[in-house]
Amino acid sequence: MAVPPRGWAPQADNVGVLSSPAFSPAEDNPPDAIVRVRGVSKTYAGGFQALKNVNLDIRRGEIFALLGPNGAGKTTLISVICGMTNATQGTVIADGFDTVRDYLLAAV
């Protein structure tokens, strides 16, 4: 099972895009993940890429903080996870439900 190292956090690259270091999300399958983000990217109509291949697990009961500089994509990521905006690519699973395909169940 590939798991990001302890203390891992998404890194903002030199253009302010939130991206995550490479690890194998297909092999990372914790049974207690309440939120699972896989390969999420978001590019706005004007061409600005706010998220770039983000992979993230938030485990049930975990206290989680999302930190980064202005323009790094924090609000965009939260908006995608909450279903307020759609990702250009990738998936978000909330409590076992795909937030796009099963949006009514994921919102409960």
pLDDT digits (tens, 9 = 90+) for 27-85: 455 668 999 999 999 999 999 999 999 999 999 999 999 999 999 999 999 999 999 99
Residues 63-76 have pLDDT tens digits of 999 999 999 999 99
Interatomic CA distance for residues 77 and 2, integer angstroms: 22
- The angle formed by the CA atoms of residues 97, 100 and 106, to the nearest 5 degrees, is 35
Band the pLDDT of 103: cuts 50, 70, 90.
Answer: confident
The DSSP bridge partners found for residue 54 are 40
Interatomic CA distance for residues 42 and 40, integer angstroms: 7
What does pTM read for this prediction?
A: 0.70
For the domain 11-106, what is the CATH code? 3.40.50.300
